[in-house]
Structures are given as C-alpha cells and as structure tokens.
C-alpha cells in the first residue's frame, strides 16, 4: 500500500511537535503531505507539505487519507465530523471534545464512516502505566479498593494563560485544568479502573490565575464496586506533587518521583481480616521495586499505531471513542462543583451542555492576549 497521506490541522505548540517527528520520518509508512495553518512562515521548514489556510480547505481538498487535529478543543468536534464525512481517518488531540454531547456527535460521525478514529493519549504507552494495567488485569493487585492521584505539578504562569485567545475561557476552551492538563490522567483512570458510578467535584475557578475557569481541582470518585477515588490537580501550585497510589486486596502500588513500588499483601487483606485469630495481626508484606523506564517517543508511537491501524487494521492503543470517558469525568466534576451535588454517571450530556452554554452567555470575563516568546513546549509534557 502507498504511504498514508497525513494532513495536519493546526500548527501551534502541539501541531509543530507532530510536524517535526512526522517530517523527520519517525513514523513509518506515512507522509506529512499537507498542513493547515494561517501562519505560512511557521510551515516553511516542512517543505514537502502543501499548505492550506484553513482546516476545512485541507479536509475538502481530497489530497490526504487522514488528518491529525491539533487545533483548540472546541474545533475537534466540527473538524472531526467534517473529516469523517469526507471519508478520512482521524487522529484527534485530547480532549476529543469539550463536552460529552459533542463527544457523542463526533463518535456518531465516526460510526457512520467506517474509518479509523484514534485519540492522542500517549501516556498509555508509558511502561509504568502499562505495568500497572498488567497488575490489574492479571489480578496480581486484587480487587481495587482505592485510587488516589495527586497531580499538582502542572504549574502554569499568567503568561501561559494570556498566550492564546482561546485559552482558559468558557467560550474559547470550555474549561481549565480538567480540559487541558488533566485529560491524560483522567483517561488513564478510565483505562485502568473503568467508569465511576458517581462523581463529586470541588473546583476552584481562577484561584491562582486571572482566569474564569478551574485551576484548582479536587474530585471524589466512587466506582460500582464501592472503590473510592480522589483526584487532585492544580496549575497554580509549586513545587506540586505527582503521586499515584492504588490500593487493592493484594497490596498497594505507588508511582512517584520516577519510582514504582508494589507492596504486596502475602494474603488478600479482607480474607486475612476474616480468618485472623488475633486483633492486631497484619498480612505479611513483600516489597517489590518495579523497574520502569520512560518511553522516549510516546506521541510517535501512538501515531505509528494509528498508521498501522489504517493499513492493516491493527488494534488502536487509544480508540477515539474512549476519549468520551475522560471528558465525562471532567464535565461531571465541573457540573458537581456548580450545583453542589453528586453527579451520577452516565452524565446527562444535554443538561451539561446547557449549563456550559449558560456560563458562556453569562461570562463577563475580558481576555487580554499577550503572546509569549518562543520557548521549549516539550517541557509541558508530564513526567
């Protein structure tokens, strides 16, 4: 088969990152043949690619087999639907849409299209999370009873929020930390533990920055088996923490500071509790250090998998439709914060969309855009 002709929509921070590794041929059996950008100067270094001044023009051109959508979140839905309608395969950046109703529209368009739909959830390729998934799937960790993720090291400055007109407003971005920084972690929570039954969010809006959306978040999750979860995140805290702790019947896994440890209960804890004859007995523990290394090419790996899926129907690392679940928890956490109530899942997507539209209509916020000088965007990727 001929190489898959890829068209890139958006040449901002993320789009340039994709363009770099694609044009350096780090993904096989594909070619970056087209780019949609309003800034032709930024595209000059990708000399083999045909330029379009709008994503719609690229999609309609008939000159590509697949598109990579790296534009602001709201446009993921409209551009994705348009691309599926033109018979193109779609790789969409996270979040797949801003809210669940838009996810549903995008997923419906995909179902009608019979094309490949991937989402850029590159953290799924990280060995530490793959090993954690293996511990869960094999039953080595036992039934999960508690999940805590404190990820408060997403520090962002005022300059970051002022840098793009679309950022950090209800109208432009549709959310803050939950929609921009946290989708990867929320995706991993779903990929590892499934869909919670209910969510209670405590979001603080503009707590650390002059923005109208959330920059400090505490979310309580409850799963169908009564396992509990706590997800804490912030873009204003320094130094912040990134600690992922999972407790199961067979022990506890902690991922923090580049280490992954598994403290294993020699006997499942509830069984031990039922059978012990003395009050203060505890299961014997085995301390296991699980080796992990960083995956150096997370995005290119997910993109290679997308190309392989197009050519030979290889299963996707991150099917696009699974992107709904991280959006659902983000939406539920916001909805719960606004209403002061626990939100049962599945989320009422129409009710959430109405509420978000009210926020947009009622917004008094005036965005002042101050462009930032060039800096190393890859520093933003989570460790």
- Residues near ligand NAD (CB under 6 A) are 10-15, 37-38, 55, 70-73, 75, 93-94, 120, 122, 164, 166, 180, 381
State which residue, 9 or 145, has the beta carbon closest to ligand NAD: 9
Cα four-point dihedral sign 7, 9, 14, 15:
positive
Q: Give residues with Cβ within 8 angstroms of 154, minimum separation 6.
A: 177, 181, 182, 233, 234, 235, 240, 382
For residue 182, how far is the Cα from the chain centroid? 6
Q: Alpha-carbon dihedral of residues 25, 27, 31, 32, nearest 10 degrees?
A: -80
In the complex, residue closest to ligand NAD by CB: 12
Rg from Cα positions in the chain: 22
State which residue, 286 or 381, has the beta carbon closest to ligand NAD: 381
Cα four-point dihedral sign 104, 351, 363, 329:
negative
Least distance to ligand NAD from the beta carbon of 157, Å? Answer: 15
State which residue, 75 or 234, has the beta carbon closest to ligand NAD: 75
Place of tokens 């129409």: 350
Least distance to ligand NAD from the beta carbon of 147, Å? Answer: 22
Least distance to ligand NAD from the beta carbon of 368, Å? Answer: 16
Six-digit token string for 92: 């969409």
State which residue, 157 or 341, has the beta carbon closest to ligand NAD: 157
Least distance to ligand NAD from the beta carbon of 13, Å? Answer: 4
- Beta pairing class for 50-52 and 30-36: parallel
User: CA 58, CA 8: separation in Å to the nearest integer?
Assistant: 9
How far from 21 is each of 15, 61, 304, CA to CA, in Å?
Answer: 10, 24, 11
Least distance to ligand NAD from the beta carbon of 82, Å? Answer: 11
State which residue, 15 or 142, has the beta carbon closest to ligand NAD: 15
State which residue, 154 or 231, has the beta carbon closest to ligand NAD: 154
Least distance to ligand NAD from the beta carbon of 326, Å? Answer: 11
State which residue, 103 or 120, has the beta carbon closest to ligand NAD: 120
Nearest to 135 by CA among 244, 243, 248: 248
State which residue, 3 or 164, has the beta carbon closest to ligand NAD: 164
State which residue, 95 or 201, has the beta carbon closest to ligand NAD: 95
State which residue, 66 or 70, has the beta carbon closest to ligand NAD: 70
Least distance to ligand NAD from the beta carbon of 73, Å? Answer: 5
Least distance to ligand NAD from the beta carbon of 233, Å? Answer: 15
Six-digit token string for 194: 């499934």
Least distance to ligand NAD from the beta carbon of 47, Å? Answer: 18
Residue 130 parent element (H or E): helix 127-137
- E strands, the chain, in order: 4-9, 30-36, 50-52, 66-69, 89-92, 117-119, 144-151, 198-205, 214-222, 228-234, 242-248, 251-256, 259-265, 285-290, 343-344
DSSP designation for 322: G
Six-digit token string for 55: 């994503």
C-beta of residue 51 within 8 angstroms of C-beta of residue 37 = yes
User: CA 305, CA 316: separation in Å to the nearest integer?
Assistant: 6
């Amino acid at each position: 088969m001929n190489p898959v002709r890829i068209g890139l929509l958006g040449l901002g921070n993320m789009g340039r990152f994709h363009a770099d590794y694609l044009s350096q041929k780090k993904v096989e059996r594909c070619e970056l043949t087209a780019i949609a950008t309003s800034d032709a100067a930024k595209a000059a270094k990708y000399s083999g690619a045909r330029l379009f001044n709008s994503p719609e023009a690229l999609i309609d051109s008939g000159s590509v087999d697949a598109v990579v959508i790296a534009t602001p979140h709201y446009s993921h839905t409209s551009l994705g639907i348009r691309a599926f309608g033109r018979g193109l395969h779609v790789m969409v950046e996270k979040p797949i849409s801003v809210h669940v109703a838009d996810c549903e529209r995008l997923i419906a368009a995909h179902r009608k299209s019979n094309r490949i739909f991937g989402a850029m959830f590159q953290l799924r390729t990280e060995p530490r999370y793959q090993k954690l998934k293996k511990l869960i799937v094999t039953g080595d960790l036992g039934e999960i009873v508690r999940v805590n993720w404190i990820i408060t090291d997403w520090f962002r400055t005022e300059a970051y929020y002022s840098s793009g007109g679309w950022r950090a407003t209800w109208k432009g971005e549709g959310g803050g930390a939950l929609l921009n920084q946290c989708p990867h972690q929320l995706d991993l929570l779903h990929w590892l533990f499934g869909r919670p039954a209910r969510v209670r969010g405590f979001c603080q809006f503009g707590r650390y920055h002059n923005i109208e959306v959330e920059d400090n978040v505490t979310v309580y999750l409850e799963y169908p088996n009564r396992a509990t979860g706590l997800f804490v995140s912030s873009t204003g805290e320094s130094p912040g923490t990134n600690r992922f702790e999972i407790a199961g019947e067979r022990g506890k896994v902690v991922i923090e500071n580049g280490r992954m440890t598994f403290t294993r209960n020699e006997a499942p804890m509830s069984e031990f509790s039922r059978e012990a004859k003395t009050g203060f007995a505890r299961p014997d523990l085995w301390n296991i250090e699980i080796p992990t290394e960083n995956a150096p090419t997370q995005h290119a790996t997910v993109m290679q998998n997308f190309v392989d899926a197009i050519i030979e129907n290889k299963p996707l690392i991150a099917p696009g439709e699974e992107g709904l679940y991280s959006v659902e928890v983000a939406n539920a956490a916001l909805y719960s914060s606004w209403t002061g109530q626990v939100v049962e899942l599945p989320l009422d997507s129409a009710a959430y969309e109405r509420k978000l539209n009210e926020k947009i209509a009622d917004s008094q916020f005036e965005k002042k855009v101050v462009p930032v000088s060039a800096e190393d965007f890859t520093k933003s990727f989570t460790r």
